[in-house]
Structure 1
Amino acid sequence: MCALATLPSVIQYLKPMRPRDPEESHRTATPLELFFDLVFVIAISIGGGHFHHALTQGHVWHGVIGFIMVFQCIWWAWMNFTWFSTSFDNDDWLFRTLTFVQMLGVLVLAVGSEAFFTGENLLVPIIGFVIMRVALISQWLRASRCGGIAAKAAKMYAAGLAFAQVLWVAWAFVPDHTRVPVFFLLTALELCIPVFAERAGRTNWHPHHITERYGLFTIILLGESLLGSAHAIADALHEHDHILPLLSLAVAGLVIAAGMWWLYFWPPHHKEIDGLARALRYGYGHAFIFAAAGAVSVGIETQVGYFSNHSELGFIGTNLAVGIPVAVFLLGVWVLLLKGRAPAPLQWAIPLAALLCLLLPIWGIAIVMAALIYLLVQNGAAKH
Structure 2
Amino acid sequence: MPNEEIYASRKLRVKRMRPRDPAEVFRSSSPLELFFDLIFAVSVSLASAQLVTAETHSDIGGGMLSYLMVFFAVWWAWMNFTWFASAFDADDWLYRVLALTQMAGVVVLAVGTTAAMTSGDYRIIIAGYVVMRLALVAQWIRASRSHPGLKRTALRYAVCIPIVQVLWICYPLVPAQFAVPVFFFLVLCEISVPLFAERAGQTPWHPEHIADRYGSFTLIVLGESVLASTAAAANAFENASQLLQFSLLGVGGFILAAGLWWVYFSSDASVWLQKRKAPMVFGYGHYFVFAAAGAFSAGVKVLLDHEAGSSGLSSTVAVATLTIPVAIFLLGVWSLILRHCLRGIYKWAFLAVALLIGACLLLPYFTPTTSSDVTIAVASVLSAAGLMIVLVVLIEASGVRDQDRPAPELA
TM-score, normalization: structure 2? Answer: 0.89
Question: Where does residue 397 of structure 2 map in the other structure?
Answer: 378
Question: Where does residue 296 of structure 1 map in the other structure?
Answer: 296
Instruction: Name the SS for the 2:20 alignment partner.
Output: coil
Question: Where does residue 4 of structure 1 map in the other structure?
Answer: none
Distance in 2, matches of 1:71 and 1:59, equals 18
The answer to whether 1:66 aligns with 2:66 is yes
Structure-to-structure mapping, 1:50-65, within 5 angstroms: 50-65=50-65
Q: Deviations over 1:83-131 (max 9, x none)?
A: 0111111100000011111001011101101233234432111110121
Please report how far the alpha carbon of residue 236 of structure 1 lies from its aligned counterpart in structure 2 after TM superposition: 1.3
Please report how far the alpha carbon of residue 40 of structure 1 lies from its aligned counterpart in structure 2 after TM superposition: 1.1
The answer to whether 1:140 aligns with 2:140 is yes
Distance in 2, matches of 1:343 and 1:274, equals 19
Question: Where does residue 375 of structure 2 map in the other structure?
Answer: none
The answer as to whether partners of 2:18 and 2:88 remain within 8 angstroms in 1 is yes
Rg (Cα) greater in structure: 2
Name structure 1 gaps, 5 residues minimum. 1-7
**Which AA in structure 1 matches 2:397?**
Q
The answer to whether 1:21 aligns with 2:40 is no
Question: Where does residue 214 of structure 1 map in the other structure?
Answer: 214
**Which AA in structure 1 matches 2:399?**
G
Please report how far the alpha carbon of residue 195 of structure 1 lies from its aligned counterpart in structure 2 after TM superposition: 0.7
Distance in 2, matches of 1:346 and 1:111, equals 44
Matched residue count: 377
Distance in 2, matches of 1:60 and 1:331, equals 21
The answer as to whether partners of 2:289 and 2:329 remain within 8 angstroms in 1 is yes
Question: Where does residue 264 of structure 1 map in the other structure?
Answer: 264
**Which AA in structure 1 matches 2:174?**
V
The answer as to whether partners of 1:272 and 1:282 remain within 8 angstroms in 2 is no
Q: Following superposition, which runs of at least 4 residues in structure 1 exceed 6 angstroms of deviation?
A: none
**Which AA in structure 2 matches 1:356?**
L
Question: Where does residue 338 of structure 2 map in the other structure?
Answer: 338
Question: Where does residue 168 of structure 1 map in the other structure?
Answer: 168
Distance 1:149 1:24, change over 3 A: same
Distance in 1, matches of 2:56 and 2:120, equals 20
**Which AA in structure 2 matches 1:323?**
T
**Which AA in structure 1 matches 2:49?**
G
Please report how far the alpha carbon of residue 275 of structure 1 lies from its aligned counterpart in structure 2 after TM superposition: 7.5
Distance in 1, matches of 2:22 and 2:294, equals 30
**Which AA in structure 2 matches 1:101?**
T
Question: Where does residue 313 of structure 2 map in the other structure?
Answer: 313
The answer as to whether partners of 2:83 and 2:210 remain within 8 angstroms in 1 is yes
Distance in 1, matches of 2:340 and 2:44, equals 33
Distance in 1, matches of 2:357 and 2:112, equals 33
The answer as to whether partners of 1:327 and 1:353 remain within 8 angstroms in 2 is no
Name structure 2 gaps, 5 residues minimum. 1-7, 361-379, 404-411
The answer to whether 1:155 aligns with 2:174 is no
**Which AA in structure 2 matches 1:142?**
R
Question: Where does residue 121 of structure 1 map in the other structure?
Answer: 121
Distance in 2, matches of 1:293 and 1:68, equals 12
Instruction: Name the SS for the 2:359 alignment partner.
Output: coil
The answer as to whether partners of 2:267 and 2:400 remain within 8 angstroms in 1 is no
The answer to whether 1:102 aligns with 2:121 is no
Q: Deviations over 1:314-356 (max 9, x none)?
A: 1111111011111111111111111142132321222212221
**Which AA in structure 2 matches 1:379?**
S
Question: Where does residue 407 of structure 2 map in the other structure?
Answer: none
Q: Deviations over 1:152-207 (max 9, x none)?
A: 11111111111110111111110011111111111111111111111012211011
Give the root-mean-square deviation of aligned CA atoms.
1.6
Q: Deviations over 1:206-262 (max 9, x none)?
A: 110011000111111111110110111121121222111111111111111111111
Q: Deviations over 1:34-61 (max 9, x none)?
A: 0111111111101100000000011111
Percent identical among aligned pairs is 42
Question: Where does residue 86 of structure 2 map in the other structure?
Answer: 86
Instruction: Name the SS for the 2:229 alignment partner.
Output: helix
Distance 1:91 1:276, change over 3 A: farther
Instruction: Name the SS for the 1:293 alignment partner.
Output: helix
